[in-house]
Amino acid sequence: MKLEELGKGRIGLRTLAYRLYVPLASLLLVLLAGHWIAIRAGRFDPETALQNQYLRFQKSGDAAAGKLDGLTPAEAAAADRVIADWYEPTQSNGQVLFLGNSQTMAINDYRAGDMVAAQWLQVSLLRQIGTREAPALVLGSLPNITMPETVARTVEFSESRGRRLKQVIVALTLREWRGVGIRPEVQNEIAAHQLAGPLAELIGSNRDLVHGDTVLQGTLQALKNSAGTAESGSAPPVSSRVERTLQKFAGNNSVLFKSRPYIVVELFIQYMRLRDWLLGIKSDAPRPIPFETYRANLEMVELLIRYARARNCDLVIYLAPIRPLQPNPTLASDLARFRADLPKLCARYHATCLDYSDLVPETKGMWTDYPDIRQPDYAHFTGAAHRLLARRLAEDIGSRLTLAAAPRSNAQ
Amino acid sequence: MTFQSISYLLFALAIWLLAIPLSGARSRQVLLLAASYLFYATWGFDCLAILLASSLMNYAAGELLRKRPTTARLCLGVTLNLALLAIFKYLPSMADGASLIRRLFMPVGISFWTFEALSYLFDLYSGDEDANPSLIEFCLYLAFWPTVLAGPVCRVGEMLVQFRREERPGWDDVATGVQRIVLGLFMKLVLAQILLEGVSKDGGVAYGFDQISGGWGGVDAWVLAIGFGFQLFFDFAGYSHIAIGSARLFGIRLPENFDRPYLSLSPSAFWTRWHMSLSFWIRDYAFLPLAMLRPGKWWLMVTLALSMILFGFWHGATALFLLWGAYHGALLVVHRQIQALRQHRKLRVPPALDAAASWVVTFAPVSLGWLFFRSRDLHQALEMWSAIFSPARYMHLILRPNCYIVTAAIVVGYFAIESIRPILARVTGGERAQVVVRALSPAWYAAAVLLIVAYSAQESLFVYFRF
Nearest CB neighbour to A222, from listed B1, B210, B397: B210
Cα–chain center distance at B320:
18
Which one of B201, B383, B410 makes the best mutation probe of the A interface by having the most chain A beta carbons within 10 Å?
Answer: B201
**CA atoms of B269 and B263, how far apart (whole Å):** 9
pLDDT digits (tens, 9 = 90+) for A323-366: 999 889 999 999 999 999 999 999 999 999 999 999 999 988 89
Q: Is B24 left (phi over 0), alpha (psi -120 to 50) or beta?
A: beta
CB atoms A228 and B461 under 8 Å: yes
CB atoms A233 and B46 under 8 Å: yes
Q: Which of residues 164-223 of B touch A (CB under 8 A)?
A: 167-172, 174-175, 178, 197, 199-203, 206-207, 209-215
A8 pLDDT exceeds 60? no
How many Cβ pairs within 8 Å bridge chains A and B? 181
Q: Which residues of A touch B169 (CB under 8 A)?
A: 3
Confidence grade of residue A179 (pLDDT, cut at 50, 70, 90): confident
Q: Could you give the residue numbers annotated as active site of B?
A: 315
State the ipTM, two decimals. 0.82
- Give the whole-number percent of chain A exceeding pLDDT 70: 83
CB atoms B441 and A144 under 8 Å: no
pLDDT digits (tens, 9 = 90+) for B375-434: 989 999 999 999 999 999 998 889 988 999 999 999 999 999 998 888 887 777 777 777
- Name the DSSP letter for residue A258: H
**CA atoms of A218 and A203, how far apart (whole Å):** 11
B318 touching chain A per CB within 8 A: no
Mean pLDDT of B209-231: 93
CB atoms B460 and A225 under 8 Å: yes
Nearest alpha-carbon partner for A210 in B220, B93, B377, B384: B377
A412 pLDDT exceeds 60? no
Q: Which residues of A touch B446 (CB under 8 A)?
A: 26, 29-30, 33
Cβ atoms of A97 and A138 closer than 8 Å: yes
Q: Which residues of B touch A239 (CB under 8 A)?
A: 1, 7, 42-43
A46 pLDDT exceeds 70? no
Nearest alpha-carbon partner for A86 in A75, A97, A94, A76: A97
Cβ atoms of B270 and B107 closer than 8 Å: no
CB atoms B211 and A275 under 8 Å: no
Confidence grade of residue A75 (pLDDT, cut at 50, 70, 90): confident
Nearest alpha-carbon partner for A169 in A397, A359, A348: A397
pLDDT at A188: 83
pLDDT at B34: 96
**Integer CA distances (angstroms), B303 to A42, A137, B283, B318, in order:** 60, 68, 10, 21
Confidence grade of residue B222 (pLDDT, cut at 50, 70, 90): very high
Range among A54-63, A190-199, B111-120 rated most confident? B111-120
- Name the DSSP letter for residue B170: B
CB atoms A26 and B211 under 8 Å: no
The DSSP result for A143-177, as a single string, is TT--HHHHHHHHHHHHHHHGGGEEEEEEEE-GGGG
CB atoms A233 and B460 under 8 Å: no
Least confidently predicted of B6-15, B159-168, B336-345: B336-345
CB atoms A222 and B93 under 8 Å: no
**CA atoms of A205 and B191, how far apart (whole Å):** 38
Cβ atoms of B303 and B287 closer than 8 Å: yes
pTM: 0.87
Nearest CB neighbour to A260, from listed B92, B171, B453: B453
Identify the sign of the CA torsion A392, A393, A396, A401: negative
Residues 6 or more apart from B338 whose CB is under 8 A from it? none
* Average pLDDT score over chain A: 83
To the nearest whole Å, the CA of A54 is away from the closest chain B CA by 22
To the nearest whole Å, the CA of B134 is away from the closest chain A CA by 28
Cβ atoms of B151 and B112 closer than 8 Å: yes
Q: Which residues of B touch A260 (CB under 8 A)?
A: 453-457
Least confidently predicted of A55-64, A140-149, B112-121, B166-175: A55-64
pLDDT at A231: 38
